């Protein structure tokens, strides 16, 4: 079994070459503001079995047409009948919605063997290197409870003809990672992608490259590289259950673009970003995930803090902010260069069994809607991303902060 390095399957998301389609299952105006339109879509189904990892990329997904402003993008995992699937059965590690420009085959005289040949991937405005964390929308197990709506008159601009190269079409892809934890020996370790809880190939560490492009060392205890497509978390002896088909159901709200709309820029800021300087240029090195070290059973041990100081080449007014974190999260805070708190995002942990309230899982991350104009990040300002986790060994922890910035006020 071959393994792809770095972003090929883990972070660039765009190199898992699996084309697919989606279909609308519901649409119509559902808001008091009659200018806002909405539609609910469902991705292509994918199959999972007990303990199995599904890591899929679906190209050319259904998306609002024309020059529009996206107001929200909300998603959840569902089964073949459209029922919500609880996290303790199938853990939604993440979904990413990524923009790309594809060659318009209706205008091209050449039909390539690879239908994805020539694609141009358009990452968000965040500073992470290459194709790491390139998405415009993306959450995990907290997706059902975390708001994504952008307040009026702001929106994410899509389909602007002046930004699409001649001979191309603007399209979107979904990258999805799901871990079926039915019957596993330890659900928590599976969702953390703990390597010794997966049935890995014998030569895994010799043929798998890490984020730095070098072979993984034996000290790599867990994370996304141990959760590649079709790998399996260890099952309880004798456990059997049928495979099942799942899909991502996603709802988008939007408005037709006009002069009243104000575009926002979307940033993903990573608390593992190791920023260094080369002359006047800043070099970013986002690690995406990290390991919380063991506390050796000591009580009242301080939380684990992951922190990054990130220069913002271009600032703006903060319109909305939230965060993506995993189980064990305490909070994530964004600070300005002068130490002021820009916003803090806190997790909500489920207390029941029903989807959206699964006990012990992060089912929501709070969002921040500051009073318009009250918070502004200056051009060149160095902001600090600080994420806190409870002490105790855990792998594959993440601390990503999402911010929407605008150049002007209404």
Complete DSSP assignment for 251-272? EEEEEE--TT-EE-EEEEEETT
CB 355 within 8 A of CB 347: no
CB 306 within 8 A of CB 386: yes
Please measure the distance between the N-terminal and C-terminal CA atoms of the chain and give it in whole angstroms. 55
pLDDT at site 287: 94
Check whether 386 has a pLDDT greater than 90: yes
Digit-coded pLDDT (tens) for 175-223: 999 999 999 999 999 999 999 999 999 889 888 888 888 888 888 999 9
Check whether 1 has a pLDDT greater than 70: no
Q: What backbone torsions phi and psi does residue 191 show, to the nearest 5 degrees?
A: -70, -20
pLDDT at site 113: 59
Check whether 5 has a pLDDT greater than 70: no
**Confidence class for position 130, pLDDT limits 50, 70, 90:** confident
Digit-coded pLDDT (tens) for 50-62: 999 999 999 999 9
List the one residue out of 169, 166, 163, 192 whose CA is nearest residue 179: 192
Q: What backbone torsions phi and psi does residue 163 show, to the nearest 5 degrees?
A: -105, 0
Higher confidence at residue 349 or residue 279? 349
Question: Which structural domains are found in the chain, ordered by start?
Answer: 6-256 (no CATH), 262-406 (2.60.120)
Check whether 347 has a pLDDT greater than 90: yes
Check whether 307 has a pLDDT greater than 90: yes
DSSP β-ladder status, 399-406 and 316-325: antiparallel
List the one residue out of 291, 357, 286, 287 whose CA is nearest residue 328: 291
pLDDT at site 4: 29
Residues 6+ apart with CB under 8 A from 168: 101, 102, 103, 104, 120
Check whether 108 has a pLDDT greater than 80: no
Digit-coded pLDDT (tens) for 131-184: 899 999 999 999 999 999 999 999 999 999 999 999 999 999 999 999 999 999
DSSP β-ladder status, 154-158 and 244-256: unpaired
The residue written with tokens 């010799």 in the block is 206
List the one residue out of 123, 14, 122, 139 whose CA is nearest residue 73: 139
pLDDT at site 297: 78
pLDDT at site 206: 81
pLDDT at site 25: 45
């Amino acid at each position: 079994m071959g393994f792809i390095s770095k972003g090929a399957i883990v972070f660039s998301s765009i190199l898992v070459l699996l084309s697919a389609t989606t279909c609308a299952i519901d649409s119509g105006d559902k808001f008091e503001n009659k200018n806002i339109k909405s539609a609910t879509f469902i991705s292509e189904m994918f199959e999972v079995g007990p303990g199995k990892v599904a890591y899929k990329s679906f190209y050319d997904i259904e998306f609002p047409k024309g020059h529009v402003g996206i107001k929200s993008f909300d998603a959840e995992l569902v089964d073949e009948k459209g029922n919500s699937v609880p996290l303790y059965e199938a853990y939604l590690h993440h979904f990413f919605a990524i923009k790309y420009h594809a060659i318009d085959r209706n205008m091209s005289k050449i039909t390539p063997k690879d239908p994805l040949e020539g694609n141009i991937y358009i990452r968000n405005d965040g500073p992470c290197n290459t194709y790491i964390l390139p998405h415009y929308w993306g959450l995990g197990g907290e997706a059902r409870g975390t708001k994504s709506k952008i307040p009026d008159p702001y929106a994410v601009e899509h389909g602007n003809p002046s930004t699409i190269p001649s001979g191309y079409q603007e399209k979107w892809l979904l990258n999805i990672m799901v871990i079926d934890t039915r019957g596993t020996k330890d659900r928590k370790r599976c969702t953390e992608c703990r390597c010794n809880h997966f049935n890995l190939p014998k030569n895994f560490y010799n043929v798998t490259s890490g984020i730095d492009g070098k072979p993984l060392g034996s000290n790599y205890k867990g994370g996304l590289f141990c959760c590649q497509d079709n790998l399996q978390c260890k099952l309880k002896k004798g456990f059997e259950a049928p495979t099942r088909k799942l899909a991502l159901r996603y709802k988008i709200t939007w408005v037709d673009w006009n002069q009243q709309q104000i575009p926002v820029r979307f940033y993903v800021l990573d608390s593992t970003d190791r920023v260094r300087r080369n002359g006047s240029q800043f070099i970013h090195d986002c690690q995406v995930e990290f390991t919380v070290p063991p506390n050796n059973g000591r009580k009242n041990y301080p939380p684990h803090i992951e922190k990054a100081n990130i220069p913002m080449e271009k600032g703006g007014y903060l319109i909305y902010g939230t965060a993506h974190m995993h189980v064990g999260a305490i909070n994530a805070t964004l600070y300005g260069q002068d130490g002021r708190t820009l916003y803090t995002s806190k997790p909500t942990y489920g207390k029941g069994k029903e989807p959206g309230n699964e006990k012990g899982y992060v089912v929501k991350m709070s969002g921040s809607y500051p009073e318009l104009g009250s918070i502004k990040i200056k051009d060149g300002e160095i902001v600090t991303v600080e994420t806190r986790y409870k002490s105790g060994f855990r792998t594959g922890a993440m601390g990503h902060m999402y911010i929407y910035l605008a150049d002007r006020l209404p």
